[in-house]
Amino acid sequence: TAIIMGEIIKPRLYSLSPSERKTLSEALYSDTTFNLLTSDTSQIYLLRPQKQQTVIAYHLDASNPSRLILANQLELRPGDIIFIAPQPVTNYNKALTQIFGAYAMTVDPKSVSN
């Protein structure tokens, strides 16, 4: 299996079989993977473990459709990790949500007057 994670709708294991030889583009586009509002398709990474505990990282900028030719040619291997980064504004939004959510928990609604 390979792992698909990051700013996607549902992180999951992606099944691989030697007879099918699935590619990176099949893993990314075979079903609903991206959250189009929060995923940064210019920041897709394929992390591939190597011997002696090293990792090779491949970067795909899928914001340009012509670069998807590479994703169509890159075969997945067991142990691969596909990571889709969030858009910068998504990180900012999450931080604000956490700050204001924590603030809302500390404010007594009875002490706030209109």
Q: Give tens-digit pLDDT for 9-39.
A: 888 899 998 888 899 989 888 776 777 677 8
User: What number is the average pLDDT over the span 33-61?
Assistant: 88
CA distances from 56 to 52, 72, 92, 93 (A): 12, 19, 29, 31
Q: What is the pLDDT of residue 2?
A: 92
Question: Which tokens go with 56?
Answer: 């090779």
pTM: 0.74
Mean pLDDT over 82-110 rounds to 67
Looking at the chain, the whole-number percentage of residues with pLDDT higher than 70 is: 75
In one-letter notation, the amino acid at residue 9 is I
